[in-house]
A = this chain, B = another copy of it.
Amino acid sequence: MKLLLLSNSTNAGEPYLFWAKREIQAFLEKEPAIALFIPYAAITFSYDEYEAKVKNIFSAFGRHVTSIHRAEDPVRAVEDAEIIVIGGGNTWHLVRKMHDLGLMDPIRRKVLRGTPYISWSAGANVACPTLMTTNDMPIIDPHGFDTLNLIPFQINPHYMDVHPVGFGGETREVRIKEFIEINPDVYVVGLRESTLLKLVNGKLQLVGSRSVRIFKKGETPKNLQVTDDLSFLLAQK
């Protein structure tokens, strides 16, 4: 399996996907030319616009991107895909469309058979067993919380340590502690911005300039660095 799971698309003040370009390019080095893009996390802009934006980035790597919303038979498009790319936006809407179009199983089968998978934000969330560690607003019933289950742990994208001064709502850490209270067997990886997880040949690596924060019920949350062994996350269950 070959996964590249990015916390976020864009850092403040930078072009789209800029921070991850080198990693995406290296990840795709020996891969084929055609990428299928899943744009369904887009809400306030069109799938055409989203495709154009991503096409523009991937063309710099010599890859051609086509969005699945153009396919007459989306399941067939997945089955024929050489690379699968899932963009960020609203996780709930993305999952709803993936369920309604019957894409979960086909994508999972393809990626388990070796088709490279690149995603960011909501797209990183759907690589997990469920969408339960999303930060997004539930603007639509997803018709089921289950997602691709490519990895046995949960990612919380855009993980942040700061909390607005004087804000009376829950911090991100409190929210994740609520999750592990109800889901005690599941690891949560707080994936800070400008970081990504790469899984190739069964080896899981953190890439980026920041640590990840690991949560599990009964364990003290801890930060792990790029040099730390993350294999325990795959051994789960």
Residues of A whose CB lies within 8 Å of any CB of B are: 8-12, 43-44, 90, 93, 121, 131-141, 145, 157-158, 160, 162, 164-170, 174-179, 181-183, 193
Task: Report the minimal beta-carbon distance from A119 to chain B, rounded to whole angstroms.
Answer: 15
CA distance A14 to B9 in the complex (A): 38
Docked-complex contact A182 and B138, CB < 8 angstroms = no
Docked-complex contact B138 and A170, CB < 8 angstroms = no
- Closest chain B residue to A131, Cβ basis: B138
Knowing A139-B182, A145-B141, A178-B90, say if A158 contacts B162 (CB, 8 Å).
Answer: no
Docked-complex contact B10 and A136, CB < 8 angstroms = no
- Closest chain B residue to A194, Cβ basis: B168
**Most chain B CB atoms below 10 A, which of A11, A182, A193:** A182
Task: Report the minimal beta-carbon distance from A47 to chain B, rounded to whole angstroms.
Answer: 13
Query: Which residues of B sit under 8 angstroms from A131, Cβ to Cβ?
Result: 138
Query: Which residues of B sit under 8 angstroms from A145, Cβ to Cβ?
Result: 138, 141
Query: Which residues of B sit under 8 angstroms from A177, Cβ to Cβ?
Result: 43-44
**Most chain B CB atoms below 10 A, which of A12, A169, A181:** A169
- Closest chain B residue to A137, Cβ basis: B175
Docked-complex contact B178 and A139, CB < 8 angstroms = yes
Task: Report the minimal beta-carbon distance from A160 to chain B, rounded to whole angstroms.
Answer: 6
Given contacts A9-B168, A134-B137, 16 further A-B contacts (CB under 8 A): A11-B168, A12-B165, A12-B166, A43-B177, A44-B177, A132-B138, A134-B138, A136-B170, A136-B175, A137-B175, A137-B178, A139-B178, A141-B145, A158-B167, A158-B169, A162-B167
